[in-house]
Every structure is written in structure tokens, then in C-alpha cells.
Chains A and B, each alone.
Chain A
Amino acid sequence: DGGITQSPKYLFRKEGQNVTLSCEQNLNHDAMYWYRQDPGQGLRLIYYSQIVNDFQKGDIAEGYSVSREKKESFPLTVTSAQKNPTAFYLCASSIDLPNTEAFFGQGTRLTVV
């Protein structure tokens, strides 16, 4: 089945640690996205990538980093510089045209302990 796979589903991080969230897609989509979801705030864009080896900051990129070495993969690293990292993180992909819908992974819930 085609789709987007995020792992792990739940992740616990100690303060001061970097953690990496995995996102893999087999939909052959050029565009990939990372969103952060907090209660009552909808989805906020962290980073996006339109093509391999290229990515751009979204609205809340501070404290996060990404890479796009392969078309299928778009991992997100939450660094120790992110002051409030506890949230639900969603990865998505789409054909890179404005009239196409995005496909989402099942999300990773990150908790700082």
C-alpha cells in the first residue's frame, strides 16, 4: 500500500537532548512537509521540501532541522534549542501543485520528561 510512515509513534526526550523523527513515503511525491500540532492551534508549518537536497523554513523553524537526501525520506530533528518541544508532529507529502491534497502520516507524539 502507498502511504506515509512516521516513527516512532511515541517519543520521550530528556531536556537537552536532540531527537530525530522519521518520515518515509512511497507515493513518489516531490513535496514533503513537517507540521506541529498543539491543542487549539491547528497545524503550523515547520519545514518543507519541494525537491531532493532542498528544503525551506516554514513558520516555526527555530529549534528544528531537517534533511532531504532521498526523495522518500524527510527526517526532522528536534534540537535542544527548541524551548517547548512537547507536541504532536505530523509529516505530509503531496504532488507539488497548489490544487492537490496532502497525505499525512499517523504522527509522532513527543514528550519532554
Chain B
Amino acid sequence: AQSVAQPEDQVNVAEGNPLTVKCTYSVSGNPYLFWYVQYPNRGLQFLLKYITGDNLVKGSYGFEAEFNKSQTSFHLKKPSALVSDSALYFCAVSSPGDNFNKFYFGSGTKLNVKP
């Protein structure tokens, strides 16, 4: 069965420091991996995705993510955090083996960036 794990409920980082939000996945076949961000009482916004090719994917707002097949991970990173990055982050996976575009979401990680 396909699944996604976000091992940290919350990540705290000081403004200007690098941030990492962790994600591991389990999927049969080659995965398609996504990161979304959610601000309070809002819908999810797409940040970036990995489909194939270069393991380092760059996305919106200076975020990037690294796909690591051997560790089945897709961690979200940013070199220098901003207070405005504080939000809830979701990792998701879809599988080419599914007969429709079903997304499996992690439980979310709350990112707190302190001034």
C-alpha cells in the first residue's frame, strides 16, 4: 500500500537559518512526489514536485526538495528561512500504478520560524 510519513509534527527554526522538513514514502514502482503548504484556514498550495530526472527539485518561494531513492525520502529544504514561511507543510505521493490520480498525504509538519 502507498503511504507517506512526516516524522516531525513540528519544526522550529530561527529566521535566516536553513530549514528541513522531512518526508519518507512507500510506494510500489516509481513515485511521483509533491510538497504543499497550507496557511491557517486556507487550502493547500502546490510548492514543487518530483516526477523524474534531477534529484534536486526547485519550487516556489525559494523552496527545494531532494529525492533520495535509496532512503525513500523527499525532504523539503530552504537555505534561509523567513518568518512568513511559518505554515503547515504536507508531503504527498501518487503512483503510476493507480488507475486515477490518487494522492496519499502525510500528516503534516508545522513549521515555526522565529524572528
Contacts and interface: CB of A to CB of B under 8 A. Distances in A.
Interface residues of B, number: 25
B101 A97 contact: yes
Q: Is the interface of A mostly helix, strand, loop or mixed?
A: strand
B100 A48 contact: yes
Contact of A107 (B32, B42, B94, B96): B42
A50 B44 contact: no
Given A48-B102, A100-B101, A90 B44 contact: yes
Interface residues of A, number: 31
Contacts of A96: 100-101
Interface of A: 4, 6, 31, 33, 35, 40-43, 45, 48, 50, 56, 88, 90, 92, 94-107, 109
Given A104-B36, A104-B43, A107-B43, 9 more contacts: A35-B105, A40-B108, A48-B102, A98-B95, A98-B98, A98-B101, A101-B34, A102-B44, A102-B103
